[in-house]
Every structure is written in structure tokens, then in C-alpha cells.
Amino acid sequence: MFDFVNINWEVLLLSAGVTLLKIIGIFIAFFIVKKIGNKVIGRTFTKLQDKQNISLGRAQTLQKLMENILSYALIFMLVASIFGIFNIPVASLLAGAGIVGLAVGFGAQGLVSDVVTGFFLLLEKQIDVNDYVTIGAMDGVVEAVGLRTTQIRGFDGTLHYIPNRDITSVSNHSRGNMRALVDIGIAYGEDIDKAITVMQEACDKAAAGNPMIVDGPNVIGVQAIGTSDIILRVIAKTVNGEQWGVERQLRKAIKEAFDEHSIEIPFPHQVTIHKNGENPQKMRQA
């Protein structure tokens, strides 16, 4: 039977206090070393980017990876240090972990697949931080590429965590020049050649004042014949990531040019016939 009477409470409390202080000190050291390590990694990749002419996205990708590895290493050292405080032998712990790891190895196949896939994503430079990509049914901007997961920020602000093993195909929209594509409809009664000429003039003026346009814009002609309009297509090459802004600018410029030359862009109409025999009247549909 345990004897509570003869316990030296002062010694026990002192020992517990010392142990608690050691644990607190280890945690403080963990956060200090992690913060210093992240700063050193950041400065290292900044210098590497300047000297080796590495792209900003690539440097940020490798920086995130090194910070991830540093965190895992420090966590392992933290756990080992705490075990040492309680006189738990780390060697036996690792041996036991090996046996347990062998037992659950089949269940950890997904984790191994994540790490292997993440390694090849980084090795082959398929994606970098700040790249606009499409992965499966999700698209967005890459925020981090880790050994286990890849983080994609959707355009609605949602942050998606994708296990690397689920990345079977990647469409990277941030490599090389991009294409701006604009389709404009004109009414059947309009002169197609005149409309093309007006569109090209508007496109040339837009290109003259926009350095984001690399080539074009060019009116390539009739793209489709719809039920109530004829579709004319414009194509331009732009600086990566600027294609949406160029498309908006071209639509505005073409609309203003059409208004200036009285070229109609068709819109829905409805015809009303009055019972008293008056002529039909076309009205814009509300």
C-alpha cells in the first residue's frame, strides 16, 4: 500500500517544478530556433534568387519545403528531449516505433505515396508557388508545395489542401505567354467586312497603349453563326496572368467603336401587336 504520510512533499514539488521548467525551456528553445531557422532559410533563398537567377515562384516553393523539413526535424528533437527528461530511452523508443511502423506499414502507403509524388512535383518543376494551375476539378493559385500536401487558393478565397497522391494531372497556366480571346456578336444586317475593320482599328489602339499585350490583337474573322448574331473572334498574346485584364479592355474598346460607327450588337427583342390594329412595335425585353 502506498504510504502518503512519509512522502517528502517539498522534494516532490521541487522535482516537479524543475521538470516543468525544463519542459517550458525546451518549448521556448523550439520556437526560438524555428523562428531563427525560418529567417535564415528566407535570407538564403533571397540571396540564391539574386545570384543564381532563380524565379521568385521557384525560390518560394523551395523555401516553403525547407521550412517544412525544419519543422519536422525540430518536432522530432522536441519529442526526444521531453522523453529524455522523463528518463525514457530514445533508442528503445525508436526500436518500438520500428516494430509499430512495420505493423502499420500497409496502412501508411498513402503517406508514402504523398511524399514520393511531392518529391517528383518539386524535382520536375511542375508547379511553383504563385502559379495558376488546374488540378482535377479545382483551379487556383499555388500557395505551398509540401512533401505531403499541396495548397491551392481558389479564386473565391477558399484554400484547398490536396494530398499529393491525388494529383494525377496538372495544367499549369503560368508558363509562357497566355492568350486573350474575345468573341463579339454583330447583327445579321451589318456589314461583316466593315465590322472587322472597325474591330481591328479598336484593337490596334488598345495594343498601342497596353504593354501587357505581346502580340496582336488580331481579328481572325467569323467564328460562328448563331441564331440571332454573327460571332467575330479576336485573339491576342499577353504577359502571363494579364489575359483577363486585356480581354476586358478589348471588349470595352470594341463596344465603344461599334457605338461610334452605329454597328448593332444584337440583343433580345419582343414584338407586341395591339388589338386596335396599330402597327407592331419593337420593344427591348426587360
Please check the confidence at residue 6 and state whether its pLDDT lies above 60. Answer: no
Query: For residue 217, is the peptide bond before it cis, meaning its omega torsion is within 30 degrees of 0?
Result: yes
The residue with cell 516494430 is 99
How many angstroms separate the CA atoms of 76 and 277, rounded? 90
Query: Is 149:162 a contact under the CB 8 Å cutoff?
Result: yes
The residue with cell 540571396 is 47
247 vs 279, higher pLDDT: 247
Q: Phi/psi at 274 (nearest 5 deg)? A: -80, 145
pTM, to two decimals = 0.51
Share of the chain above pLDDT 90, in %: 8
The residue with cell 521550412 is 67
Per-residue pLDDT band at 150 (split at 50, 70, 90): confident
pLDDT tens for 31-66 read 888 888 878 777 776 766 666 555 566 666 667 767
257 φ/ψ sector (left φ>0, alpha ψ -120 to 50, else beta): alpha
How many angstroms separate the CA atoms of 163 and 52, rounded? 31
pLDDT tens for 181-223 read 889 898 888 889 999 999 999 998 988 888 888 888 988 888 8
Q: CA neighbours within 13 Å on the CB side: how many for 110?
A: 5
Sign for the CA dihedral angle at 225, 214, 243, 207 comes to negative
